[in-house]
Amino acid sequence: MDDDSTPERQADDDAETDAEVTLDEVDREVLYSLQRDARNITIQEIADEVAVSASTVRNRIDKLEDTSVIEGYAPQINYERAGFPLTLLFVCTADPDSRSTIAREILAVDGVIDVIEMVTGERNLYVQAVATTTKDLTRTTRALNEYGITIHSSEIITNHYVQPWSHFKRSPSE
């Protein structure tokens, strides 16, 4: 019986997903449409925007998912409306040799919703968390300290803005 979970097979899978994927204009426009509103746009609407068939769009999305260009579809949650009025950004330092492991482990801390690793620099770990009270904030801070990181600051986030990356949008001259 073949076991695809062997270390050699996993290394091959990692190498395949780490390879850069060449995107053409159709791929980029499909990505732009999905970035704008993946939840509500239909395959046919994307096809109409990109001027290709719906089956082409479906095939392109499948390819983009299979090659990990598209890694998932996640909701944008308004944590304040969901009962978590405090959204915080912790700016931290972790030992570079264990930073990746710590980053993954910190996700288990109650309230932590996002961890970003920085390549270099003293402030190499950004942790985003939500809380309901300052007591929650204190509990989260203590839990983070247990991982041996240095917290340089904790900032309350008031707003966060995102947009689709315009590189994927067809230029008006085309």
Average pLDDT over residues 69-91: 93
Which pLDDT score, from 0 to 100, does residue 2 have? 41
pLDDT > 90 fraction of the chain, expressed in percent and rounded: 72
Which pLDDT score, from 0 to 100, does residue 91 have? 97
Q: Which domains does the chain have, with CATH numbers?
A: 9-66 (1.10.10.10), 86-156 (3.30.70.920)
Which is more confidently placed, 166 or 76?
76
pLDDT band at 10 (very low <50, low <70, confident <90, very high): very low
Average pLDDT over residues 92-107: 95
Give the tokens for residue 121: 């620099």
Task: Tell me the C-alpha distance between 36 and 49, whole Å.
Answer: 13
Cβ contact 15:145 at 8 Å: no
Which pLDDT score, from 0 to 100, does residue 30 have? 95
Which is more confidently placed, 71 or 171?
71
pLDDT band at 74 (very low <50, low <70, confident <90, very high): confident
CA distances 27 to 16, 32, 57, 167, Å, are 19, 9, 8, 11
Q: Residue 142: is its pLDDT beyond 90?
A: yes
Average pLDDT over residues 128-141: 94
Task: Tell me the C-alpha distance between 157 and 104, whole Å.
Answer: 22
pLDDT band at 1 (very low <50, low <70, confident <90, very high): very low
Q: Residue 110: is its pLDDT beyond 60?
A: yes
pLDDT band at 121 (very low <50, low <70, confident <90, very high): confident
pLDDT band at 119 (very low <50, low <70, confident <90, very high): confident
Global confidence as pTM: 0.74
